[in-house]
Amino acid sequence: MSDNTCQTYVPATPFVVVPDNATPLHIPHRSRNVPPDAWCDYDRPVPPSWAELAARRGFRIDRRVRDRYHLALECLSCGAYTAVKIAALRDAAVRCGGCAARDREQNAQGAGLTFLRRDPVARHYGYFRAPCGHTVRRQFELIQRVRSGKTGLRCALCLVAREQDEARAHGWHRIGSDFAGNPAYRLYRHACGHVQRIARVNMRHGQCDCARCGESWSSKPSVIYLARISLPGLAGDVVKFGYSAHPRKRFKHQLGLPKSARVRFVRLLEMPSGHAACAAEKAANARLARDFPDLVVPQTIYRGLINVRSEIYWPAILGEIEAELDRISGQTQAR
Ligand SMILES: [Zn+2]
Ligand SMILES: [Zn+2]
Ligand SMILES: [Zn+2]
């Protein structure tokens, strides 16, 4: 044997392969952590009774390897070499590493995939190249069912890309999977910034009303509101300045306010479209936050009481917001 005997692993088949200069040796997966050079020849004779036993199992004993418990078998059907325990030859059906690798590759091919490698940790899983070119990780057993037509195989990356396109077509951005864990739902962000969970099938068909701006965000009327809210446990009121197609509904159902909270609308300014309302409100809130940072209520104060992350002010800002509303009203009417 040459110096490079038992030097490298090629873990690309169901068995680990330890190549020597003549033929690679398949090692059962459970022995994958045994160092490669442990599989060198074990120089002892092979008793004739073992050879008979091996022949009955469809193998020829090539040599003894590693220690007094192991053999290298040659498969009489494919010619590959596999290391086994002598005890396994007696008690159990011995599998040929070469035949197993071939089965795995044929299964993958039959399912329209290319087998790449085993999962080094989970022995029932492997990595495959899908027809789209992406690498997918699947159970071997599932590949068999795909092959027999009992189930299909969807590439998760392609699915995400498709869902991203569907969302974009309707003015949404797909953020991720549903935080509530419902597999039929996804999390989306509307063009207005509002984040919402929507059934994927509804998004595909464009049935995806934004809870904040209402249906057809760009064209339907909307309202910019200024509301005073008294929250339980807070000495003074806070002020919310925002927009919605249905402000009362929004406060009642979407902001997660405690039952004991009191809401009083100081002003409701009707806007011709959700688009106009969104643009005007965003610009005004940005100005207010920049010019009156002391009047912005820190989120820590209302966390858990109102389900928003900004646009909450102390009442001292009311005059400034009224001025903003006057200006927006004037601009809208001038159009
Ligand atoms: Zn074989
Ligand atoms: Zn793909
Ligand atoms: Zn929206």
SS (H, E, C) the chain: CCCCCCCCCCCCCCCEEEECCCCEEEECHHHCCCCHHHHCECCCCCCHHHHHHHHHCCEEEEEEECCCCEEEEEECCCCCEEEEEHHHHHHCCCCCHHHHHHHHHHHHHHCCCEEEEECCCCCCEEEEECCCCCEEEEEHHHHHHHHCCCCCCCCHHHHHHHHHHHHHHCCEEEEEECCCCCCCEEEEEECCCCEEEEEHHHHHCCCCCECCCECCCCCCCEEEEEEEEECCCCCCCEEEEEEECCHHHHHHHHCCCCCCCEEEEEEEEEECCHHHHHHHHHHHHHHHHHHCHHHECCHHHHCCCCCCCCCEECHHHHHHHHHHHHHHHHHHHHC
**Residue 239 domain flag:** yes
Residue 8 structure tokens: 């490298």
Is the predicted pLDDT of residue 122 greater than 90, yes or no? no
55 and 36 in contact (C-beta within 8 Å)?
no
C-alpha radius of gyration, the chain, whole number: 34
Asked, for residue 80, whether it belongs to a domain, the answer is: yes
Tokens encoding 7: 């030097």
How far does residue 106's CA lie from ligand 1's centre (Å)? 14
Q: How far is the CA of 217 from the centre of ligand 3 (A)?
A: 6
Distance 133 CA to ligand 2 centre (A): 6
Q: Which ligand is nearest to the CA of 95?
A: 1
Q: Specify the number of domains making up the chain.
A: 4
On whether both 227 and 315 belong to a single domain, the answer is yes
* Structural domain includes residue 59: yes
Report which bound ligand comes closest to the CA of 74: 1
Residue 212 lies in a domain: no
Using the mean position of ligand 3's atoms as its centre, give its distance from the Cα of residue 81 in Å.
Answer: 64
How confident is the model at residue 63, as a pLDDT? 93
In this structure, are 246 and 299 located in the same domain?
Answer: yes
Residue with the bigger pLDDT between 252 and 288: it is 288
Residues 131 and 163 in one domain: no
pLDDT recorded at residue 67: 93
Are 260 and 325 within one domain?
Answer: yes
Query: Same structural domain for residues 330 and 227?
Result: yes
pLDDT bin (cut points 50, 70, 90) of residue 11 is very low
If asked whether residues 311 and 329 sit together in one domain, one would say yes
pLDDT of residue 66: 92
In contact, 227 and 302? CB cutoff 8 Å: no
The mean pLDDT value of the chain amounts to 86
**Centroid of ligand 1 to alpha carbon of 17 (angstroms):** 14
Triad 24, 25, 26: Cα angle to 5°: 120
Q: Are strands 262-271 and 185-190 parallel, antiparallel or unpaired?
A: unpaired
User: In Å, what is the CA distance from 332 to each residue of 205, 272, 277, 321?
Assistant: 33, 8, 10, 16
| pLDDT tens by residue, 190-246 | 988 888 889 898 888 777 888 777 656 556 788 999 999 999 888 889 999 998 888
Is 103 within a domain? no
Residue 20 has what pLDDT?
A: 57
> How far, in Å, is the centroid of ligand 3 from the Cα of 192?
4
Q: Is residue 55 part of a domain?
A: yes
Is residue 106 assigned to a domain? Answer: no
Measured in angstroms, how far is the CA atom of residue 117 from the centroid of ligand 1?
A: 19
CB 256 within 8 A of CB 306: yes
Is there a contact between 38 and 25 (Cβ–Cβ < 8 Å)?
A: no
Instruction: Clarify whether residues 195 and 267 are in a common domain.
Output: no
- Ligand number, closest to the Cα atom of 155: 2
Beta strands 70-75; 172-177: pairing state? unpaired
Ligand 3 centroid to Cα of residue 216, in Å, is 9
Cβ–Cβ < 8 Å for 211, 196: yes
User: Which of 290, 167, 295, 153 shows the shortest CA–CA distance to 238?
Assistant: 295
Q: Which band of pLDDT confidence, cut at 50, 70 and 90, is reported for residue 16? A: low
Question: Which domain range does residue 137 map to?
Answer: 111-147
- Spatial separation of the C-alpha atoms in residues 186 and 83, rounded to whole Å: 49
CB atoms within 10 A of CB 256: 11
Q: Residue 37 Cα, ligand 3 centroid: separation in angstroms?
A: 64
Nearest to 71 by CA among 79, 6, 59, 3: 59
Overall size of the chain counted in residues = 335
Centroid of ligand 3 to alpha carbon of 236 (angstroms): 30
Reported pTM? 0.52
| Cα(278) to centroid(ligand 3), Å | 8
C-alpha of residue 154 to centroid of ligand 2, in Å: 8
Of 98, 119, 134, at which residue does a domain stop? Answer: 98
Statement: residue 109 has pLDDT above 90 = yes
Proximal ligand: closest to the CA of 173? 3
Say if residue 133 is in the same domain as residue 55: no
Q: Is the pLDDT of residue 1 over 70?
A: no
Co-location of 133 and 226 in the same domain: no
**C-alpha–C-alpha distance, residues 149 and 285, integer Å:** 57
Same domain, 86 and 20: yes
Q: Which residue has the higher pLDDT, 250 or 237?
A: 237
> Which protein residues have a CB closer than 5 Å to ligand 3 (ion)?
190, 192, 194, 210, 212-213
Same domain, 316 and 283: yes
Q: Is-contact 59 77, C-beta < 8 A?
A: no
In a domain, 7, yes or no: no
Shared-domain flag, residues 118 and 45: no
